[in-house]
Structure 1
Amino acid sequence: MESGNTITIACAASKRTSLHGLDNIAAEGSEGYDNLINLVEDLHSMNVINSEESKELTNSIISKLKEEFNKDLDDSIIKIENWGAHIVRTINQDSWRLERLGSLLQGQGIIIMDWAMKFLPQRFREKQTD
């Protein structure tokens, strides 16, 4: 982490994140790892732990951080794939609906019941506007 940027140091949300999908809890977790590494460095500088212990602790912290980043990456990939599937589904449903509406004759109608919009809010006692 660059120590020259005062804003980056002061604002946990700006660390290791992009502006899209900013998650303050994740940023604070990342700051926690930085604090642990700084603590290990301080313990070493005060001769509380030796160089070998300092390296082992730092490597352990970095390894754990890499594991969490990989998990976040895997979760993000799944969310992006689900979003893409949702878009394809929406396009298919809209094209079907428009095709059917275009083929209606005089005096005909079509009733569309959207299960997700009507039944899920009732099931989980949520307002339909939420």
Structure 2
Amino acid sequence: MPFGEKNIKLSSGDTIVVSNTIRNLLPTRIIQAYKEYCKECDEEFKPLSDTCLFEILHCCTASNRKSLQGLDYFACDGSNAFDMLTHLCDELTTHDVTTSKIIELKKGLHESRNCLKNNYKLHVEFNSEVADHCIKYGLSDPRDLFWKEDCNHSHSMECDQCLLLKNTLIELRATIDSCSMTKEMKLRYLHRFDQNAQLIWDWKAHLMRCFQQDRARIDILQNLQNDSEFVLLDWALKWLPMKYRETQRDFFSNLFN
């Protein structure tokens, strides 16, 4: 996420202007994602060594933000939803659910969160045979002809990571439904599950929308005429790290209290 610019001086004396950024990933995760992207684009391409990549990230310093306050409440709610489902798995141990099953569910939730946080946006494309990665398919509204566009390809492929998220949520709900507990307690657990699962799907949909918005912004900049201007407006927010993750709704409510 860029905000402003900074100058980097090279050993040759030249100066390079780079964007200041906010990073939500550790340098190791960034390098892993970069190598996976290079491998998908060209298997013969050999990226720089880890030492060089770490040095580049060190020179192109960025602000590491642990709080998502005021930035992205979809990501905040989605990440919190994974935490809530993990706690829910721990609670199921008191209702005759085996330890191995709980470990399997928690592992699936952990890997699925890492996928949405790190890798999902790297796999999204405007036209893809994977339905979860296809922008044209994912952003089309079948109920509105003005917002619907048919794909000229079939969605015959599946993503292992996206499939893991679906299967994990299905298995977790089935586990809750088969637990030996009172009907009232089961309804409470199912309500908690449905609420948090929806927040996760909303986060995933938000990531696809963000990718499409970035494509539109880049397309405008590339085709911008010399006598035209592109203005991007956003609210100027202050960082008030009151807690680790605070939703945008809570942030704005604090401003008016």
TM-score range for the pair, normalised by the shorter chain length: 0.3 to 0.5
More strand by share: 2
Structure of higher RCO (CA pairs closer than 8 Å, 6+ residues apart): 2
